[in-house]
Amino acid sequence: MRVLGIETSCDETGVAVYDSQQGLLAHSLYSQVELHSEYGGVVPELASRDHVRKLLPLIDEVMAAAGTQSQDIDGIAYTSGPGLIGALMVGACAGRSLAYAWGCKALGVHHMEGHLLAPMLEANPPAFPFVALLVSGGHTQLVRVDGIGRYRMLGESLDDAAGEAFDKAAKMLDLDYPGGPQIAKLAEQGEPGRFRFPRPMTDRPGLDFSFSGLKTFTLNTVAEHKLESGLPDDQCCADIAYAFEDAVVATLVIKCRRALEQEGLKTLVIAGGVSANKRLRAELESKLAKIDAGVYYARHEFCTDNGAMIAYAGCQRLLAGQEQELALKVQPRWDLESLPDISADGPS
């Protein structure tokens, strides 16, 4: 089966062609970061308009790169949630309309399932069951995964997601959007040990997350050390960035290890934009090796939103017989555990 994947849930337009026999044939991504950076975050209306401008040319580009004509496409998978409703509507309208015109199947895909399955695109994919850490601007979740559609939520953020916390901390330090890469870059110049930020909710049982208190602690630290310019000096900013990143990473690592031990599993998958953080990957590999557990993640270009993960996830569900009705349906909020179990059919 050959599937065209479309991702438009937020501020990146992603398109890919995936073949169940040949693998990923082509993919391309257009990022709106420059468009939104002057506002310090995503402006939903601007995001939707930019998807409208970029999506069809990107589809033409990827189809040509994959050497694929419309008659070669067996199905179209598009992100139908969760995400920004306007952005989701752009991809859903385009995907469902093309499927109708081309006489092929269509299917709306859960955005976080796409992230969760992105490591399956690698040469050495993880085997079920495993624990997945889904960590991005909008989500921080620990999920037990026993197969495609067999998901059980173990813990999630009660307020700010980790990626959102990175963005807000970056804004406090007058860094550009998105905040994660900017904090990580500045933290490389930081002095370990000057500040120690709290590791939220690690001193109590459970696998839920909370980063709002860490955000407040960061704001107070910046205020305590600011100069007349309104910010601390450059070295102090770097030290704060180091301490903030260290606290987020330590919190995630503690909860991941706790989840693996609770579930009696030895495999962790990390996915989502924050999974590209180098310190997080290094700390997970180091700490989990002590309990003989392995870590899997997607290549860097598939950590953030992309069409390849949607094409892959959609292909698995289309092969299992799922198909979208003609009426459009997008879900800005969508429970991952509500997805149908297709694990008996096996991935391809």
Binding-site sequence positions for Fe cation: 111, 115, 305
Q: How far apart are CA 316 and CA 162, in angstroms?
A: 29
Q: Which residues are annotated as a binding site?
A: 111, 115, 134-138, 167, 180, 277, 305
Tell me the one-letter amino acid at 192: P
Comparing CA positions, the residue from 318, 339, 309, 345 lying closest to residue 128 is 345
Q: How far apart are CA 22 and CA 347, in angstroms?
A: 14
Asked if 130 and 343 touch (Cβ cutoff 8 Å), the reply is no
Q: How far apart are CA 146 and CA 261, in angstroms?
A: 16
Q: Which residues are annotated as a binding site for substrate?
A: 134-138, 167, 180, 277
Q: How far apart are CA 82 and CA 217, in angstroms?
A: 30
